[in-house]
Amino acid sequence: MNEGSGFVRVIIAGGGTGGHVYPGISVADAFKDKDKATDILFVGTKKGMEAELIPKTGYPFETIRVSGFQRKISPALLKSAGDALAGFSQAGKIVESFSPDLVIGTGGYVCGPVVGAAWRKKISTMILEQNVIPGVTNRLLGRLVDGVAVTYDKSREYFPGRRQVVVTGNPVRKQILSADRKMGRENLKIGEDKMVVMGFGGSIGAKKINEAMVHFIKEYALKNHLTVILITGKDKYEETKKQIGEAEKDILDNGKTEKKAGDIILKPYLHNIEDAYGAADLIVCRAGGISLSELTAIGRPAVVIPYPYATNQHQDHNARYLTEVGAAVSISDGDLDGPCLTETIKDLVENETNLQNMAQKSKELGRPDAAESIITLAEDIVRRRRPKRQRRS
């Protein structure tokens, strides 16, 4: 074990969505910050977001075959079973070849074969759980691994009997942690005195959120000179842009107000999302683990709309947790429409004290040091399992 991170080689497996990929990148960066000599290998699939995101980071990346398990007897079940067998074989070869000190699963089906292969070879293992309620893969792996890093204290009850289940928080990218109100507004050309509402529906956007935000823009934001940052998703941008244009035209034709430049910032995707986070007074979003970890890390109040088809309805549980402590207001996807969202935002932005209290509660939930806490847990896991392990030359 070296005097830096205590590691030589680490495999990080996870993927499918950004919520499983970005935490892995944050942990990898934290390992490198502590000891640049640490070798990191990411393992994912060719179809998940990891295939696009990981190569851009410069970290080595290998893929295996794996797909979601089908519960009904069908041709799809046979395919998923075939993929599982191939995935376990490929994962075993990768683990054998790379010979890691530690394997970390960050979520998604790909974790099963990779973490399982490491467990069979008696290599130290751990998993990260981003949501209040863990998915099937993590519940199964939780019985095998040496440690579990959870985002919420309530998640502990789903990993009974584990020696090390630690509330570390969900690791957040460095650029998000650097979000700054003044700099964000300067970069986006937003006045310091403006009330700013940011809305987005995840990396691919959400049509229902976009439509409700358009109604809010037309019926309240333009009339009251609020600034709105709306990230639509690439395939929903043109349609939303047209709707926004119609909304602006209606306002001007009715002569109720004069549109000011910069009131509406519409983007299909925002690479410098930290600027929007920094500039925002209120955020409207889904209740995915990564989104909630990001907004609480920087202390932003939110209106959260849980995605209704999330596995085990985990976004509903995430949203409920934030609303119970007063950091957010939740609207079910079934109840979401333009008037409902408009009234909810109106009540919040017209009560500055309440908005500030929500921001404070959000910040109290945030764990900006989550990545470092995960590294500490990982070091302890390896130290306990292999106390005399020496660094390879």
What is the pLDDT averaged over residues 239-265? 63
* 2 within some domain: no
* 4 within some domain: no
* 123 within some domain: yes
What is the pLDDT averaged over residues 236-261? 65
Q: Name 282's bridge partners.
A: 197
Asked whether residue 392 carries a pLDDT value surpassing 60, the answer given is no
pLDDT at 287: 95
Please name the residue that has the structure tokens 């830096």: 4
Whether residue 184 sits in one domain with residue 95: no
Whether residue 212 sits in one domain with residue 117: no
> Do the bridges between strand 227-231 and strand 102-107 make them parallel or antiparallel, or are there none, so unpaired?
unpaired
What is the pLDDT averaged over residues 205-224? 92
Whether residue 355 sits in one domain with residue 328: yes
Whether residue 239 sits in one domain with residue 107: no
* 381 within some domain: yes
If you ran DSSP here, which 8-state letter would residue 144 be given? T
CA dist 37 and 158 (Å) reads 35
Whether residue 338 sits in one domain with residue 209: yes
Whether residue 186 sits in one domain with residue 296: yes
Domain count, the chain: 2
Q: Which two tokens stand for residue 98?
A: 């790379």
CA dist 32 and 4 (Å) reads 10
Whether residue 266 sits in one domain with residue 204: yes
* 196 within some domain: yes
Whether residue 337 sits in one domain with residue 288: yes
pLDDT at 250: 56
10 Å CB burial of residue 335 (0-12, 13-18, 19+) is exposed
Whether residue 227 sits in one domain with residue 197: yes
Q: Which two tokens stand for residue 132?
A: 């209040």
pLDDT at 81: 56
pLDDT band at residue 261 using 50, 70 and 90 as cut-offs? very low
pTM for this one?
0.84
* 390 within some domain: no
**Which CATH number characterizes residue 239's domain?**
3.40.50.2000
CA dist 329 and 295 (Å) reads 13
What is the pLDDT averaged over residues 172-176? 91
pLDDT band at residue 255 using 50, 70 and 90 as cut-offs? very low
CA dist 286 and 201 (Å) reads 6
Q: Cβ–Cβ contacts within 10 Å for residue 201, how many?
A: 24
Whether residue 184 sits in one domain with residue 60: no
pLDDT at 192: 92
Asked whether residue 166 carries a pLDDT value surpassing 70, the answer given is yes
Q: Which two tokens stand for residue 346?
A: 């109106």
What is the pLDDT averaged over residues 258-269? 70
pLDDT at 90: 95
* 164 within some domain: yes
207-244 burial, b for 16+ CB within 10 Å, e for fewer?
ebbbbbbbbbbbbbbbeeebbbbbbbbeebbeebeebb
Whether residue 276 sits in one domain with residue 166: no
pLDDT tens across 61-117, in order? 999 988 655 555 555 544 555 666 777 899 999 999 999 999 999 998 899 999 999
CA dist 246 and 259 (Å) reads 13
Query: Mapped to the 3 state alphabet, what secondary structure does 16-42 carry?
Result: CCHHHHHHHHHHHHHHHHHCCCCEEEE
pLDDT at 253: 47
Query: Where do runs of H (alpha helix) occur along the chain?
Result: 18-34, 50-57, 75-98, 111-120, 136-141, 174-177, 181-188, 207-216, 237-254, 273-279, 289-297, 314-324, 338-349, 352-365, 370-385
* 295 within some domain: yes
CA dist 79 and 175 (Å) reads 40
Domain of residue 345 covers 175-365
Beta-carbon contacts of 200 under 8 Å, excluding residues fewer than 6 positions away, are: 209, 230, 231, 232, 283, 284, 285
Whether residue 283 sits in one domain with residue 190: yes
